[in-house]
Structure 1
């Protein structure tokens, strides 16, 4: 029995685009070492895969929705607003804000952990890094030029 192979979203999109360009199922099966049904399932779920590709990280292998979607949406809106003002945000500060929004939304069973923040960052492609002093002073026009 062949070992199980899990494809990333990017790999699935590549396979779907090759199928759309007329490549044969059999050739793809041989190349990736998977069964015909695996490729067919990707083709059948292509709309869902493409939606995930456009909105999420390319490295994820399973499309899971968060259990506290309302907290996540509120935190994401707040995070984007802070980033647009070049406010540096650390992990503990994000945790504190998530707990704050949970209390505001009346969620008593939610406690934000480091792993929740890690997965939040993964789902939304948030990379933590230093904001340089000059980064905010450069106009978008100069960057385009």
Structure 2
């Protein structure tokens, strides 16, 4: 006779925080009574040990509640290279504060530059990583339109002069490659 496995139920961060708040407002309640209470309310089986684990990780759960993009998430998974992501996010926030439109390709290129500077060699800057980065930092791709949201014309003129000075001694066939390099590395330099 085959043994029946218990169906695993993963509670989202919102439900875990409800359990924590209930336990704090009912200090004499046992883990079993809390388990029974929420099993009845949610019509799912919440084991006593699950309640105990949630209460043991109370600080971590409540801290991650504000960090997550959605309270419906079940787990809080941080980035593998937190320093890379925080540097990229600071750069992104500064660029967006200047109303500079940032595409996914620019984000990946800048992430690779920061990764090289931080000595990160075995990291893949994939679309999946980029989507998770954007979700973790609540970044959405929005169209910046209108003259008020554009790049200042003085900055554009300065960039054109700088590019012309850089490429004047090069073969015209190499200008496209060099222009991309100037655009991605020099134009978006951060002073941090």
Identify the TM-score tier after normalising by the shorter chain.
0.7 to 0.9
RMSD: 2.3
Q: Within the alignment, does 1:87 sit opposite 2:100 as a pair?
A: yes
Deviations 1:90-132, CA, capped at 9 Å, x for gaps: 2122111111111222222223111110111122222222234
Higher helix share: 2
Q: 5+ unaligned residues in a row in structure 1: which ranges?
A: 137-145
Question: What do the CA deviations read for 1:40-99 (whole angstroms, capped 9, x no partner)?
Answer: 211121111001012222243222222222211110111111222222222122111111
Question: For 2:48, which of 20, 36, 39 is the aligned residue?
Answer: 36
State the TM-score, normalizing by the size of structure 2. Answer: 0.62
Structural mapping, 1:18-57, within 5 Å: 18-22=22-26, 24-25=33-34, 26-31=36-41, 32-57=44-69
**Aligned pairs for 1:75-114 within 5 A:** 75-114=88-127
- For residue 3 of structure 1, the aligned residue among 7, 17, 35 is 7
In the alignment of these two chains, the number of paired residues is 137
Q: Distance in 1 between matches of 2:38 and 2:142?
A: 39
State the match for 2:16 in structure 1: 12
CA distance in 2: counterparts of 1:7 and 1:128, whole angstroms: 30
